[in-house]
Structure 1
C-alpha cells in the first residue's frame, strides 16, 4: 500500500514577519511549518539552556554528591544497556573524576542475565565487590522499587537520575531527578538520560564552585562532554525541542571541530562519515546503532569503554569491536525479519489493530528493532516477544502517532492483574515481561485497547511534506543550507518535499535499491535519485512519470559533491 502524502499546514506562515528576508523562501516555509516564528529560536547558544534549578530533587542530588566527594566515598554508577545509558555513564564517570572523585566505577546489566534497570540481581552483583557508599542510576531506576529497597538495606545511599515515565509509586531513593516526575517544573519533559545527568553535573559543579572546591584543582569545562550529550539525545529518539536542539547543536559543533572524545572520533571513522560536516542523522543512523550493538549482541560495557577511551588507539580498537557487533546484529536481524514476514504471510490478512508476535528463538537484544520494522511496514503498534526465563517471555513494543504504548500496557496491567509482570517505557517505545501462559490473553487485550485509539483509516503510512520545489530550488547550495541549519530529529523532522517528475532512466542496485534520473515536470534540471529499499519489480513496463516524496541530499563520490534526491516514497500508478 502506497503512503499518503500530506502537506504540512502553513497557517502561521503569512503572519510570520520575524524571520529575516535574508533566509531562503523555502527555509522560511520549512521553519514556519515547525512553529519557528522568530530567528532567535535558531540561536543555539548555551546561555539559552533552561536552568538546572527548575529540576525537582536537584538540591538533594547535589547534597548526596557533594558529601560523597568530600568523603571520597565509593561511587557506583548503574547504567542502561543502550546508547543513552552508555553516554550517560561515560559522562558521569568523566565529570565526577574531573571534579576529584577517586573511587568511581560502573555496572551495566546484561540484558539476558539481569534484565532492565536496578534490579535486585544487579544490587547483589554490586555487593560481590567493595560495597558502594553511593549508587547512582543513569537512564534507569524510576521503576526500580525492589532494587532500591535492597540497596538501602545494605547501607547504600541511592541517587536516581532517569527520564522514563514514573509509575504510581516511586522507589524510596535518597534523591530522584527526573523531569517527568509529578511536581517537577522543568519546562522540557524531553531530556533523555544523558541530558538529565549533564544537568546534575552542572548543578554539582556550581555547588563546588560556590564552596571554593576548585581553589586547589582545575574546574572542569562540562561543555567538553556535549559530544556525549548529543549522541545520547539523538540515539534515544527523544523529541528535539528547543532545549534539546541546543544540546545537540553544541555537541555537533564540537565533533565537527574535532573537540570530541577519542571514542566518538573513532566511531565517526569506522562509520566512514565526514566529521567536519557531521549532522544529527549521522549520530542516529550510524554512531548510535554501533553503540547499541554492544548491548544487543554482547555487553554494553564495550560501548562504555569506547566512550571512555583516553587516546585514539584505544578508541579505534573499541570502535572496531562495536563495528563487528553491528555486523552480527544486521545478520541476525535479517534472519528474524524473514521469520516474522513468513509468520505474517501465514496469518494472511492482518485484522489486529495492535499486533503481537512471538518466537521464543528470537534474539532478546533485537526484538525492539524487529518491532520497529514491522510497525513501519503495517503502520500500527507492534510488540515482539521472545523467551525470557522461568516460563516468562519478554517483549519490546513500538508505536505510532496517537497511541501512547506505555500507557496502553499500564491500562492492561491494571485491568488484568497478573497478566503483566513488569513494564516501562515511553509514548513510542516500551518493554515488558509477561508469563508465557498469558500471551494469547495479552494479545487480545492489547488489540482491544489499541482499537480505542485507531481506526482502519489510520492504518496507512503518512508522509508529511513541506510542499513542492520550483526548478530553481534544486541546487546544492539550498541542500547544504537545509542540512546545516539546525539539528533535525524526532518531532522536528528534516524537510521532505513532493512533486511530479519525468523518469529519464533507472536501475536497481544490489537487488534492493533504486537509482534513477528524473526531471521535474514543471521544468528544472535533470536530477539523480536514490531510493533505498525500493525496487521496480511491480512497475508497469513503460513508466514515463512518477510522484515522489523526497529530501534534498548531498552525494560525495570520488571527490565530487553533487545534489541528489533521497526518495522516501515513489508512486508510478496514478492519474
Structure 2
C-alpha cells in the first residue's frame, strides 16, 4: 500500500481518461459507468472481455515451443534428470513451481530445482551456477523466467554435456544463447497473440505443449492419468500480477482464471497460505490481494534469504506444510518492512539535508549510498523515493568485497538503461562493472571507489536530458463518481469487473468532499468519514494508508480526493469504502 499525498505536488495535473477514438460500443444493457471505464481502457467489445480458456491464443505462433516440448517430453519418457533453474523473484518462484509440479504430474521421475541466491550468484544461469547445477547431475536444464541472456551459462552447460531449454520473457540481446530450444514471445514470434506474458505465463504454455507432446506418444493412460494443468492457474495468476506485466487480454484471462480457482477453493495450498498470512480472504480475492498481499511475502524470501523457502511454500502438498512455510515468509516480510522503513527514513533525511545545504536545490537524479543498507531492499526504497520526490533514483548497498549493488527507478522521458549506457560510454567503461534493465528500472554494479565520479557523471547526463526540474506529475482519474454510485453494489461491480493491474488500471475517481470525522489507526493510517458535495446526504468511510502524521485535516474541512471505491470486509460484514490515493486541500 502506498502513501497518500495531502497536497497537489507542484506542477501536477489531474487528467481524466478518455475513450479510445474510432472504436465501437459495448452492449447498451451494460451499466453506463462500466462502459465508460472499459472504453477509457481501450476495451469496447464484449470479446475483449472473454476470459474463457478457449480464448487463449493458439500456441502455433510461439517460436521454439514445439522443439522445447519435444525435448521435455523425451526427458519425461526416458526418465532423464531435469533441473529447473528459476529466478529469485515472485515470477521466477511461481514459474519454478509450475514447471516442477507439472512435470512431476506428467510422470517425470526426477525433477528438481535450483534458484541462484542473489547475494552469491546474481541473476540467471551463469557459469558459476552451472557448476552448482552439476552437483544435481542433470541431463537437461530448463530455465524459467531467465536464460535469454545466459549465453555464457548455456555454453558452460553444453560443455558439461547438459542440454538446455530456455523459457523466458525478457528482451534478448544481440546474440541468442546456444540452447536446444528457446521459448520467448520476444524472439521470432510476431504472430503470437500474447507478447506480454510473464515468465510464468511462458512456462505455462511450455507445460501445455509438453503435455500435448506426451499425449501424442500415448504416454497417458489408466495407470498414468493425464494431469489437469488448470490446477496451475492460481500460481500463474500470482506470478503474472507480481511481475507487473501489462494486463492485456491474455494476461487478464490468465489472472481471471486463477482468481476464479482461488475464490472457489480450488487453489494450491501455498497460494492460499500466502493470502491468509496477509490477512486476505481467499473467497473474495482480487488481483490487488495477489499484488499487495501474497506477492510481497513471496518476494521477501528472495530479498532477504533464499527463494527456495517461497518455492517450497508454493509446492506444499497440504495446508499444514504450506502454512508452516508461509509463517517463515511472514517473518521475513516483517523484517523487510522494518529494513525498508529504516532505509527510507535515512534516505529522506539525507536528501533533505543535502537540499537544505544547497539552498533548496535538488539534483535532477537522486544517487544514494549507505554502508548499512541491504541490497535486497534497495529497489523498493528507490521506488518509494521516486514517488516522494518525483525524481529518478539510484540507491546503492554494499555488495561483495569492495563493490556496490545499485537499483535504479526512472520517470517517463528518461530511459534508465540508455542513461547507464551513456554514463558507461562517457567513462570509457571505467566506472560501471555491469548493468542491465529497461526504460523504467535497472540494476548495476560498480566499485565503491567509483561511486562519487559515477554520481557526478550521472547527474551531468540527466541534467542534459531533463534539466533541473522534476518531471511534471500527471494524476490520471476516471473523473467524478456518479452521485448515486457510492454504494456497496457499485463497489462490488467494480471489483468484479477486473482483473485490474498494469496498463489496465483499477478505476479511480476524483471529487470534492466534506470531512465529517477523522482518526489515526494502526499508527500510520488515516481513517476518515467523508460526504461528497454532489451527494451531501451520503456518509462514506475512507482510508488513507500511510498518511499519518503527514496529513492534517479536521471535521468541516473541504478537500478534493483522488480515490478508489472498494469493498471493505470487516468481521464478515461488507461495506463500501474509499481508498484515498491523494487528498488535496481545497
Q: TM-score range by the shorter chain?
A: over 0.9
| Structure 1 position 212 matched with structure 2 position 218 | yes
Matched residues in 2 for 1:402 and 1:47: separation?
39
Backbone CA RMSD of aligned residues: 2.1
Once the two structures are superposed, residues 411-444 of structure 1 have per-residue CA deviations (whole angstroms, 9 ceiling, x without a partner) of 4445542433223334332222222233233324
State the Cα distance separating 1:336 from its structure 2 match: 1.0
> What SS does the corresponding residue of 2:44 show, helix, strand or coil?
coil
Q: Conserved in 1, the CA contact under 8 Å of 2:405 and 2:445?
A: yes
Shift of 1:5: 4.5
Asked whether 1:79 is paired with 2:92, we answer no
Is the counterpart of residue 62 in structure 1 residue 75 in structure 2? no
Residue number in structure 2 paired with 1:549: 562
Residues 139 and 194, structure 1, Cα contact 8 Å, conserved in 2: yes
Preserved CA contact (<8 Å) 1:368 1:396: yes
Q: Distance in 2 between matches of 1:541 and 1:296?
A: 40
Q: 1:295 to 1:203 in 2, by over 3 A?
A: same
Q: 2: CA distance between counterparts of 1:301 and 1:533?
A: 31
Q: Does 1:39 align with 2:39?
A: no
How many Å apart are 1:406 and its aligned residue?
3.1
Q: d(CA) in 2 for partners of 1:539 and 1:70?
A: 67
Given the alignment, which residue of 126, 131, 134 partners 2:137? 131
CA apart distance, 1:538? 6.3
- 483-492 or 161-170, which moves further after superposition? 161-170
**Residues 479-558 of structure 1 mapped to structure 2, 5 A cutoff:** 479-524=491-536, 525-535=538-548, 539=552, 544-558=557-571
TM-score, normalised via structure 1 length? 0.94
Q: Would you say 1:428 and 2:428 are equivalent positions?
A: no
Among 468, 472, 479, which residue is 2:484 paired with? 472
- CA deviations on 1:193-251 (whole Å, 9 max, x unpaired) are 11111111111112222222224521111111010000000011111111100110000
User: What whole-Å deviation, never above 9, does each CA across 1:314-353 have from its counterpart, x for those lacking one?
Assistant: 1111111111111111111111111111211221145333
Could you tell me which runs of 5 or more consecutive residues in structure 2 were left unpaired when the two chains were aligned. 1-6
Rounded to whole Å, the distance in 1 between the matches of 2:136 and 2:26 is 58
Structure 1 unaligned runs (5+)?
A: none
More displaced stretch, 41-50 vs 59-68: 59-68
Which deviations, in whole Å up to 9, do the C-alpha atoms of 1:481-504 show, x marking residues without a partner? 001112100111100100011222
Distance 1:464 1:423 in 2: 32
- Contact 1:139 / 1:163 at 8 angstroms: preserved in 2? yes
1:460-507 deviations in whole A, cap 9, x for unaligned? 433211000232111110110001112100111100100011222222
103, 107, 126: which one pairs with 1:119? 126
In structure 1, distance between residues paired with 2:125 and 2:361: 38
Give the distance between the partners of 1:197 and 1:540, measured in 2 at CA.
Answer: 49
2:318 aligned residue:
311
1:570: which partner in 2?
Answer: 583
* Contact 2:364–2:469 (8 Å) recurs in 1: no
**TM-score, normalising length from structure 2?**
0.92
Q: Does the Cα contact within 8 Å between 1:164 and 1:426 map onto a contact in 2?
A: no
Q: CA–CA distance in 2 between the matches of 1:60 and 1:423? A: 32
For the residue of structure 1 that corresponds to 2:377, the secondary structure is helix
Counterparts of 1:318 and 1:106, CA distance in 2:
17
**Residue 474 of structure 2 is aligned with which of 459, 462, 465?**
462
Secondary structure of 2:560 counterpart: strand
Mean Cα deviation higher: 344-353 or 238-247: 344-353
Picking from 164, 174, 182, the partner of 1:176 is 182
Quote how far apart the aligned CAs of 1:182 are: 5.3
Q: 296, 299, 311: which is aligned to 2:303?
A: 296
Distance 2:18 2:554 in 1: 39
Whether 2:282 is the aligned partner of 1:275: answer: yes
Q: Please give the alpha-carbon distance, in whole angstroms, between the structure 1 residues aligned to 2:8 and 2:49.
A: 35
How far the C-alpha of 1:184 sits from its partner, in A, is 4.8
Highest relative contact order (Cα 8 Å, sep 6+), 1 or 2? 2
Give structure 1 regions of 4+ aligned residues with deviation exceeding 6 angstroms.
Answer: none
Kept in 2: contact 1:499–1:548 (CA 8 A): yes
CA 1:327/1:350 → structure 2, altered by over 3 Å: closer, same or farther?
A: farther
Contact kept? 2:518, 2:553, Cα under 8 Å:
no
Q: Work out whether 1:370 is the aligned partner of 2:381.
A: yes
Matched residue count:
571
Rounded Cα–Cα distance in structure 1 between residues aligned with 2:188 and 2:467: 32
Give 1:511 shift.
Answer: 4.0
1:144 counterpart residue number: 150
Give me the whole-angstrom Cα distance separating, in 1, the residues matched to 2:489 and 2:102: 40
